[in-house]
Chains A and B, each alone.
Chain A
Amino acid sequence: MEMPMTTAALEALETPPTKIVARDVNVYYGEKHAIRNLSIDVPARSVTAFIGPSGCGKSTFLRCINRMNDTIPSARVTGKIAIDGEDIHDPSLDVVQLRARVGMVFQKPNPFPKSIYENVAYGPRIHGLAPSRTDLDAIVEASLKKASLWEEVKDRLHDAGTGLSGGQQQRLCIARAIAVSPEVILMDEPCSALDPIATARIEDLIDELRENFTIVIVTHSMQQAARVSQRTAFFHLGILVEEGPTEMMFNNPTDKRTLDYITGRFG
């Protein structure tokens, strides 16, 4: 008889390939040196959490991954970031295409002032992903289903997206992000404006989404990082202090600064 394998053994067997590689990344906002010599490997189809006190650079680094910092005039990024081996700063790379591959969900739900349907349909339409109306309908339905919102909105797809509750709006934003079939989803404190029930739904969703997407999440809730992520990275003062399996990071981190932070000993 075959022995049942432990979860740990199974996970070790299925170690996903590296999706995002960052090497010696530095970010400056004018004079301010916001990130110093950061290097990290983010595995595919798993959740990586960035934790750290405010101003530690975790959101700044998150925004490097889809070049959102390009929109800030004073920001300057050096070093290398590659997705599937492809340098995202390659001059021949189309930033719009990059952002289709790397979707983003923000702290506050920000649906377009359009219908629920249009919120999700907008991306696939401008990226030419849906040749026909039927295709577009299918993408909208599939995306809303993946975002666990379909059952709640299927009878009112043409109501305003802004009329939904906060948690529903955030799931709508996730549906919008996944509608363009991204490979990576960046989440910047996706639950900080939500109540505990809506938060639980989003966390449940994140766990489902990791089967198909590489997820990087910035969170101020250590319990959330511990619950949803497989790997955790701790940032402090613009430095990536320590990164490793979430279980290790929260039970027995190597660096004293990580230990002090997770146990609530400094802020």
Chain B
Amino acid sequence: MADHIVSTYESELKNLTRSVVEMGGMTEKQVVDAIDALVKRDMLLAQNVIAADPSVDALERVIEERAIITIAKRQPMGPDLREIMSAIRIANDLERIGDLAKNIGKRALALNGAFQAQKLLRGVEHMGELVLGQLKDVLDAFAVRDADKALAVWKSDGEVDQLHTSLFRELLTYMMEDPRTITLCAHLLFIAKNVERIGDHATNIAETVYYLVHGRELTDERPKADASVYVGAANQEPAR
């Protein structure tokens, strides 16, 4: 699309997108580091993840402020307005992802010195890889305005949910087999939930990218496959 007649308007919008991409990079690194810190029991890395969270939060505030000023000054229309609303929405999701990564970091610290069994971490590690792939894809989709790629991320969230359900079952089994694993597994349950929620935020971002490109909301019902809330219930099948 051609540039705006007012060149400062053009640069305001470009800077906004650039800041969201930058924030995306920061949160992606936060998630990578949080999972790494957990798996490798790297306490320093876990501390770094916790310490870096305020700068993600600060960037969100900057994006929001700039977006509001641009709306007030330019009265943006059509795709420009969507651009700004998307920046606000995505920054909000990224900030939540940053918080979830921080929580994972905190739990990694809490596990220091607890009973360790590397094989118990495999499931969370795998789930983390999957969600990181989603996060990376959706941020790429935002950077190049690729609605199809965003849609693919949106559709793949069911996989994460399924994995979360099976991991939940697996961890329950470990705890029943060996009570020494309970502390670790309880933390891992929460970590798995955090990872699953990072996936949900990636899905939100996918919806925003779709809206940004097409000017209408994604309205189909997303495949939901998280059945962990039913695990242990008398009837283990989710209610239909």
Contact = CB atoms under 8 A, between A and B. Distances in A.
B78 interface: yes
Interface in B48-85: 74-81
Contact of A251 (B1, B5, B6, B78): B78
Nearest to B2: A265
Given A222-B77, A262-B78, A263-B79, A251 B4 contact: no
A91 interface: no
Nearest to B83: A263
A265 B215 contact: no
Interface string B29-50: 0000000000000000000000
A260 B215 CA distance: 15
B2 A251 contact: no
A253 B74 CA distance: 19
A111 to B, nearest CB: 32
Contacts of A226: 77
Given A259-B78, A262-B78, A252 B1 contact: no
Given A250-B77, A250-B78, A251-B78, A264 B216 contact: no
Contacts of A252: 78, 215-216
B138 to A, nearest CB: 23
Contacts of A260: 1-2
A232 to B, nearest CB: 11
Given A251-B215, A252-B215, A252-B216, A259 B79 contact: yes
Nearest to B74: A264
A111 B3 CA distance: 43
Interface in A200-252: 222-223, 226, 250-252
A263 B215 contact: no
A264 B2 contact: no
Contacts of B74: 264
Contact of B5 (A222, A250, A262, A265): A265
Interface residues of B, number: 17
A263 B4 contact: yes
A263 B79 CA distance: 8
Nearest to A256: B1
Contacts of A259: 1, 78-79
B78 A264 contact: no
B3 to A, nearest CB: 7
A222 B74 CA distance: 12
A223 B77 CA distance: 9
A30 interface: no
B76 A263 contact: yes
B215 A264 contact: no
Interface string A143-180: 00000000000000000000000000000000000000
A252 B4 CA distance: 17
Nearest to A267: B5
A70 to B, nearest CB: 36
Contacts of B80: 263
Nearest to B215: A252
Contact of B2 (A222, A250, A262, A266): A266
Interface in B165-213: none
B59 to A, nearest CB: 26
A223 B75 contact: yes
Nearest to A252: B215
Contacts of B79: 259, 263
Nearest to B3: A265
Contacts of A251: 77-78, 81, 215
Given A251-B215, A252-B215, A252-B216, A265 B1 contact: yes
Given A263-B79, A265-B2, 20 more contacts: A222-B75, A222-B77, A226-B77, A250-B77, A251-B78, A251-B81, A251-B215, A252-B78, A253-B78, A259-B1, A259-B78, A260-B2, A262-B78, A263-B76, A263-B78, A264-B5, A264-B6, A264-B77, A265-B1, A266-B2
7 contacts: A222-B75, A250-B78, A262-B78, A263-B79, A263-B80, A265-B3, A266-B5
Interface of A: 222-223, 226, 250-253, 259-260, 262-267
Q: Rank and list the top 7 A-B pairs by shortest CB-CB distance, nearest first.
A: A252-B215, A262-B77, A265-B2, A263-B80, A264-B4, A250-B77, A263-B77
